[in-house]
Amino acid sequence: MNWIDIRKWKFTPPQVLVLGFALMILIGTCLLALPISSVHGTSLTLINAFFTATSATCVTGLVIVDTGTHFTIFGQIVIIALIQIGGLGFMSMTTLIAFVLKKRISFKERLLLKEALNQENVDGIVRLFRKVLVYSLSIQCAAAVLFTIRWSFDLGFSKALYFGVWHAISFFNNAGFDLFGSINGEFSSLTGYANDFITNFVTMALIILGGLGFIVLSDLIEFKKVKKLSLHSKVVLSMTGFLIASGAIIIFILEFTNPHTMGHLSFGGRMLASFFQSVTPRTAGANTLDLSSLRQATQFFLVILMFIGASPGSTGGGIKTTTFAILIGAVIAMIRGKEDIVFFRFRLAKERILKAITLTMLALFLVIFVAMVLSTTEDAAFIRIIFEVTSAFGTVGLSLGLTPYLTVFGKIMISLTMFAGRLGPITMAYALQPKQEKELYRYTEGKITIG
């Protein structure tokens, strides 16, 4: 019998993923609710433990209590373990154990890996998974070394080593959890390092590499050998570069004269802060500026970036860069009177376009619905609510300070939004829908007027 005998399971791959993440959240809730997890020696309330476990497993970063000041070393290790498992996917971790135990990976397990890594087929999925592990651990180790060296000047070597490893895992997985509340005050994130080039650069590199997706990383590493990139990698890299550059420019313009955010920074510091705040909405959750002091135009712009999110097959959330690229391509094609969407001399299949539209509409409906519900239950301005909801859906973790003051109902709604955002609206829909039956006929084509 295979060690993870799922061949007899009556669940589809999307349903297994949903149940697997739910089980991880349940285990994390129980561990974080233990008195040993809290520095005060008292149990965290069940709803707060559930919220924190959901945020960690879904690599979001929204928190009700400050991670650095509330949790003990045990609690912090539980959180970072949930982040690592949630970032790679629980199925990836079970496959890793199978590798260690030298067990064969069955076909159904390969199907689950395909779903977990967001791939189109099972061809080479185990080989891709091995690359995922090697790339992930290598990048995190390199970043941990750089963090340790830089922070050892401020924290001492032993604490800098712990902080370096912990934050390398958190930032690469785009989780947004941090421990700097114990250094610079609760919920301070990286505001104490707004002018620090090394901290900013390494953090942004982790966020970008974690958000590109493992297929793109594999293509980049093997580019020297094969001398070409896949269409997917070209679209992801070009769209990622465009969003980061344009985002930094817009944030720089909007916040340049804001005395509460960039006003006290040098010109170079303002440029650095602009780029950091452009990168971090790509589902990372760390910040070097006080987000609640940003102008509302900037806050809404961050909502748009959070909704777009990272790229497919990555540790990030959102509708993904490729989906956004297809939507932009569809608009351009329609304006130019073209029938096909063409990227780098490749025509996209109609089913890809329909899937992008479906994903966007499901995501938009989810965010709007949750925001409307919370606007009736929470005592807060709508911009703060839509910011928090979008942050939860995009598994970003950026906050305008509303999360700690949510009602119990609000915490449950945000938790469910994080869960749906991590798995993806389409995966959730597939998991909940009844078994599909093949259509035996098609209706006559009709026409309606649009516009």
Residue owning tokens 């939860």: 392
**Residue 422 confidence (pLDDT):** 83
CA 358 to chain centre: 20
**Residue 308 confidence (pLDDT):** 94
**Residue 6 confidence (pLDDT):** 45
**Residue 3 confidence (pLDDT):** 42
Say how far apart CA 424 and CA 314 lie, in whole Å: 12
Q: At what angle do helices 13-32 and 107-116 cross, to 10 degrees?
A: 70
Who's near 60: CB < 8 A, 6+ residues apart?
54, 175, 176, 285, 317, 391, 392, 395, 396, 397, 418, 421, 422
Say how far apart CA 417 and CA 109 lie, in whole Å: 27
Low-confidence ranges of the chain (pLDDT < 70): 1-16, 89-129, 425-442, 447, 449-451
**Residue 137 confidence (pLDDT):** 87
**Residue 124 confidence (pLDDT):** 60
Say how far apart CA 339 and CA 19 lie, in whole Å: 41
Say how far apart CA 174 and CA 171 lie, in whole Å: 5
Alpha-helical segments (H) within 195-266 = 197-212, 214-226, 231-255
